[in-house]
């Protein structure tokens, strides 16, 4: 069944994911956890109510009670799972995928992620077999509105005490559901907003802020309002991307470095996790601030597990996920936004443009992530190994090789890894100079083939 992915469940409705399968997933999920009560939330896609209702029916049929929180962003669902008495839960969402898709993000107790490695494949196996016999007694159903409690939780992270204007593009996603009540409680945040009405058809643009064209609206809003920064959210609001006052995108790895620098100045020497695609700047800034830089595999399940194991306070990924230990060790676009506002509002930063705060972090030259459709992945890795010898390498996730010393003008490194979610190889490369970046990028493109969009 193609809907069972590395980190979630996702597919076209109804061809790949329908109410019958959703019902079976609900029952299998409840049995996997041996759960007494599960939280179920959903996004605003047109078919989310029926998919969620089917999941709830399956969970209750397995004898497990349900706490139905209704409409919710994924971070709000994480909050519900982390704060309520339950054994886990799921949010019906397909994140940034187009409106014809739907899916589920699943957690066990304490909002710990369930991935292919620890449960999704078991659910797939259960769904492929004979339907389980219903429990002798159906689970109960309780419906609850947690928006006010979630708002209290988010607002508690804000220590901004000066007015700041920010441009926000909710992309017709679930940030538009949770943000109004949050912003109402934060009058110092002067928000200029667009596409705040949740609409699961995403009529204006794709709810994926990693694509530069999807930030054009927030750039225009910055220009017309004089906002100090802008932020674009994805469909379920667990990711976001930032734009400075000039309209220039601030890559998520540089945001990780910036937020880590601020956190370490306030909390002292704490571990910070970052994914191995991130700029060398991230490692340098964490170490410079007295923290412990921890480089990790790509993917939220790995990042969250490492944060818990190492006691990390914060983590960031190149994909725009920002993780907070004080938020049940989960990712939240809204908390990343508030953390950035807090930083801009600090006395030493109040008169400084956002672009100036980021400027010293742009000291290396990165390609961004480049994707290749490669049938023979092992052959591709073999060609890379034959071509690039003599560097310092590791295989934490794919292959990473570093060449030269950081002081050298021609220092560079690259990582090539197989996507966990698509049939692709992904390249990230960074160099001391733009010339070295471009030359080395072209070499690797010649080895791997024409990039795909």
Catalytic residue numbers, as ranges: 95
Euclidean distance between CA atoms 133 and 224, whole angstroms = 60
Q: What are phi and psi of 111, to 5 degrees?
A: 65, 30
Euclidean distance between CA atoms 294 and 242, whole angstroms = 23
Length in residues, the chain: 453
Nearest-10 Cα torsion for 97, 110, 343, 276: -60
Euclidean distance between CA atoms 201 and 173, whole angstroms = 9
Euclidean distance between CA atoms 105 and 95, whole angstroms = 9
For 178, 212, 442, 444, the CA distances from 450, given in Å and listed in that order, are: 41, 21, 10, 10
Rg, Å, the chain Cα set: 22
Q: How many CB atoms lie within 10 A of CB 140?
A: 11
Q: Give CA angle at 205 (12, 100), nearest 5°.
A: 10
Q: Where are the beta strands (DSSP E) in 13-99?
A: 37-42, 65-71, 88-92
Location of structure tokens 């739907």? 102
Q: How many CA atoms lie within 13 A of 84 on its CB side?
A: 27
Cβ atoms of residues 37 and 67 within 8 Å: yes
For 364, 377, 435, the CA distances from 409, given in Å and listed in that order, are: 11, 32, 10
Name the strand (E) or helix (H) holding 428: strand 425-431
Q: DSSP 3-state assignment of 354?
A: helix
Scored b (16 or more CB within 10 A) or e, 322-341 reads bbbbebbbbbbbbbbbbbbb
Euclidean distance between CA atoms 85 and 78, whole angstroms = 13
């Amino acid at each position: 069944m193609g809907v069972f992915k590395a980190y979630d469940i996702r597919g076209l409705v109804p061809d790949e994911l329908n109410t019958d399968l959703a019902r079976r997933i609900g029952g299998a999920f409840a049995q996997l956890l041996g759960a007494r009560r599960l939280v179920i939330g959903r996004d605003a896609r047109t078919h989310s109510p029926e998919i969620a209702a089917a999941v709830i029916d399956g969970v209750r049929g397995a004898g497990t009670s349900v706490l139905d929180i209704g409409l919710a962003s994924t971070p709000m669902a994480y909050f519900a799972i982390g704060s309520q008495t339950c054994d886990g839960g799921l949010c019906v969402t397909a994140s940034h995928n187009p409106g014809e898709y739907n899916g589920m993000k699943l957690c066990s107790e304490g909002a710990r992620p369930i991935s292919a490695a620890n449960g999704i494949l078991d659910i797939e196996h259960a769904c492929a077999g004979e339907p389980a016999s219903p429990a002798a007694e159906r689970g109960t159903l309780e419906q609850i509105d947690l928006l006010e409690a979630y708002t209290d939780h988010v607002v508690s992270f804000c220590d901004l005490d000066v007015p700041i204007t920010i441009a926000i593009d909710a992309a017709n996603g679930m940030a538009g559901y949770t943000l109004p009540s949050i912003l109402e409680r934060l009058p110092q945040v002067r928000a200029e907003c667009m596409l705040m009405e949740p609409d699961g058809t995403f009529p204006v643009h794709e709810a994926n802020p990693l694509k530069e064209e999807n930030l054009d609206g927030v750039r225009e809003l910055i220009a017309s309002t004089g906002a100090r920064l802008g932020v674009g959210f994805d469909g379920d609001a667990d990711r976001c991307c930032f734009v400075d006052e000039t309209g220039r995108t601030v890559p998520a790895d540089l945001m990780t470095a910036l937020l880590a620098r601020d956190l370490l100045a306030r909390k002292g020497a704490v571990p910070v996790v970052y994914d191995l695609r991130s700029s060398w700047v991230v490692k340098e800034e964490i170490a410079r601030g007295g923290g412990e830089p921890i480089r990790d595999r790509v993917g939220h399940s790995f990042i969250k597990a490492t944060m818990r194991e190492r006691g990390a306070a914060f983590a960031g990924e190149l994909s725009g996920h920002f993780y907070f230990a004080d938020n049940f060790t989960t990712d939240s676009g809204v908390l990343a936004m508030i953390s950035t506002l807090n930083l801009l509002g600090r006395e030493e930063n109040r008169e400084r443009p956002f672009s100036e705060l980021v400027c010293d972090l742009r000291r290396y030259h990165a390609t961004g992530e480049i994707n290749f459709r490669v049938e023979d992945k092992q052959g591709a890795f073999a060609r890379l190994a034959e071509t690039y010898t003599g560097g310092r390498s590791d295989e934490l996730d794919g292959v990473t090789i570093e060449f030269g010393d950081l002081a050298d003008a021609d220092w560079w490194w690259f990582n090539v890894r197989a996507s966990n979610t698509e049939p692709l190889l992904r390249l990230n490369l960074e160099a001391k100079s733009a010339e070295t970046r471009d030359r080395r990028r072209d070499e690797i493109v010649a080895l791997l083939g024409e990039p795909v969009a």
